[in-house]
Structure 1
């Protein structure tokens, strides 16, 4: 009997986008059920060899975007890492996507918050509530980063996911 165990902090973000903490071998059977095409890892660990082997065996495109965990006042969120991830998210050809960090809290919370703000026009209150649900009340610098972050993204209209709002 196969046991299906989702990764830490696993959740559906939008149709075809999932978020979580770093998967471990017990999560691999569950991940197989998602039929992932792309995994985006925002993190700082490079020694996850079992995981890399699993992704390769499943023919899943793995994108490692190095991003340190934010800790004031020395390490702040990396706007370039966020932009790199967003460029992958706005192309439906990369779907289904799993976005994850080590614990699925702060880095992924920032990415999802900015996605909600820029691509969907969510209110800041809604974004902060969702962030807090996973981060557990910590992350004042993350909240501020989401609030002030701005960028222009270019992509093909034909490849945009259906959840992207162009009218906000």
Structure 2
């Protein structure tokens, strides 16, 4: 019980949803974040939205040791030619309770993670665009990603979701 471990969350870490299911966002986890992730989040799935092709050996080993399912969704920006399909890939994972708890991360936890969370807020939680834009601004440090915000605004999906797999927070 006398564990004096200081837990350090990843860059830009924040809960997105924290009811019966837990969904988090962050930047790329570093070794100093692993104890926090292991002991506090108890993740089943990590979804990486970014452009790095290789995981660091430490991260790869951590995922293997903790038996965390790692899903890489290659994303450079919301201008990628196949961005709608990539976003649907992320949504398919997020609307399946079997994948929870989930951490969605990009490199810095700002723009790509912000777009994904914005889409989740819009489609699954019914947030207003004003609220989504405000949250995006907080995480991006006030740097307005006009293309990102436009993408969130315009994004629609025809994703079919089995009701029994849907997390409690989703109004989809």
Q: TM-score, structure 1 length as denominator? A: 0.92
Matching residue of 2:71 = 63
Select 1:18's aligned residue among 11, 24, 44. Answer: 24
Secondary structure of the residue that 2:171 maps to in structure 1? Answer: coil
Distance 1:11 1:165 in 2: 21
Matching residue of 1:103 = 108
Matching residue of 2:57 = 49
Assess if the C-alpha contact under 8 Å between 1:38 and 1:96 holds in 2. Answer: yes
Secondary structure of the residue that 1:122 maps to in structure 2? Answer: coil
Matching residue of 1:113 = 118
Most deviating of 134-143 and 7-16: 134-143
Answering whether residue 153 of structure 2 is matched by residue 153 of structure 1, we say no
TM-superposed deviation, 1:160:
0.6
Let me know the Cα RMSD of the aligned residues.
1.5
Most deviating of 130-139 and 28-37: 130-139
Structure 1 residue runs of 4 or more that deviate by more than 4 Å after TM superposition: 74-77
Matching residue of 2:97 = 92
Secondary structure of the residue that 2:58 maps to in structure 1? Answer: helix
Q: TM-score, structure 2 length as denominator? A: 0.90
Most deviating of 18-27 and 117-126: 117-126
Summarize deviations over 1:56-112 as a string: whole Å, max 9, x none: 110000001111145xxx757822211100100000110000000000000010011
Instruction: Give the aligned length.
Output: 163
Structure 2 unmatched runs, 5+: none
Select 1:37's aligned residue among 25, 40, 44. Answer: 44
Distance 2:120 2:110 in 1: 15
